[in-house]
Structure 1
Amino acid sequence: MVDEQYFASFCHQILNEHPSIRFVGLADRQGHLITTAYRKNLVPLMDSKDTEKYTFQTVIRASMREVFEDKIGKQRYAVGLYEKLIRATIPIAFSSNKNRKFYLLMSFDLDSDYGHIIERKILPIIKEHKEYFM
């Protein structure tokens, strides 16, 4: 069973790691958005329906890349650079149970050092919460 309150707290913890993080969302393996967190006073570029559609499409794309894991290894994260923001998708799976696979979706300001933030701040937090994602 999904604990939405726990996941909401997790997303807010991620959001508070750096001021250049605009948005954090957590999706399940089917592309359903479980929870989101937005930076204070941020005016989102997309409404909730667009965000749900983006989430579904992003999870589908990420899951399609998994067929190559045996050749190139598991994806740590994927980043897209857009004119108005930077997006990142981080697969979260610590178990062989495919039902316990999640995707952390994030957006950053254009001038952010997103690679450093993801590697040094976000991935360690995900590992700290490993037990809950199993």
Structure 2
Amino acid sequence: MSVTQNVNENEEKLLNMILGEIPSSRVAIICDHEGNILWNSIRDNTTSYLTVDETKESLKRSIESWEKRDVLSEKIGKGKYAIVAYDKIKRITVPLPNNHLLFVSLEGEEFGNIQNIMTIVNWVEENMPL
């Protein structure tokens, strides 16, 4: 995958922190609200299960899902993250304050990593505004 636009350098740090601190992370992506990949980081020796086009389609579906969730936010609060579990991976999406979306692919069955990811996201938001 390649960078299609410039991304905030703090978002780049966010991706690097996730790959550095979450051993089961495979891929971390920042995309805009239209589904354009702004930045991505891939763990060394990791082969993507999806093509770039398939990844972009998956991002678009995630964005559409977040748009639908936002309709209910007045009643139930703002969404913090979503997890989709597949046989081979878990995908976590997190809306960022600058209207970008964080997309992380994890290997294995461990769901505890969402706390670690959210700790990193919250630290970056507090210390390095996105």
Where on the TM-score scale, by shorter chain, does this alignment land: which range? 0.7 to 0.9
TM-score, reference length from structure 2: 0.84
Structure 1 runs of 4+ with >3 Å offset: none
* CA gap 1:5/1:78 in 2 versus in 1, 3 angstroms: closer
> Which amino acid letter does the alignment assign opposite residue 129 of structure 2?
Y
Tell me if structure 1 keeps the 8 A contact 2:22–2:117: no
Question: Offset of 1:124 from its aligned partner?
Answer: 2.2
TM-score, reference length from structure 1: 0.82
1:96 alignment partner in structure 2: none
Question: Offset of 1:3 from its aligned partner?
Answer: 4.7
> Which amino acid letter does the alignment assign opposite residue 13 of structure 2?
S
Segments of 5+ residues of structure 2 without an aligned counterpart are: none
> Which amino acid letter does the alignment assign opposite residue 9 of structure 1?
K
Tell me if structure 2 keeps the 8 A contact 1:31–1:60: no
- Does structure 1 residue 53 correspond to structure 2 residue 57? yes
Larger relative helix fraction: 1
> Which amino acid letter does the alignment assign opposite residue 4 of structure 1?
V
CA–CA distance in structure 1, aligned partners of residues 55 and 35 of structure 2: 11
> Which amino acid letter does the alignment assign opposite residue 65 of structure 2?
R
Q: Report SS of the residue matched to 1:129.
A: helix
Question: Offset of 1:9 from its aligned partner?
Answer: 3.1
Please give the per-residue CA displacement for 1:67-104, whole angstroms capped at 9, x wherever unaligned. 000111111111111111111111112xxxxxx21111
- Does structure 1 residue 85 correspond to structure 2 residue 85? no
Sequence identity (%): 24
CA–CA distance in structure 1, aligned partners of residues 40 and 66 of structure 2: 19
CA–CA distance in structure 2, aligned partners of residues 58 and 5 of structure 1: 21
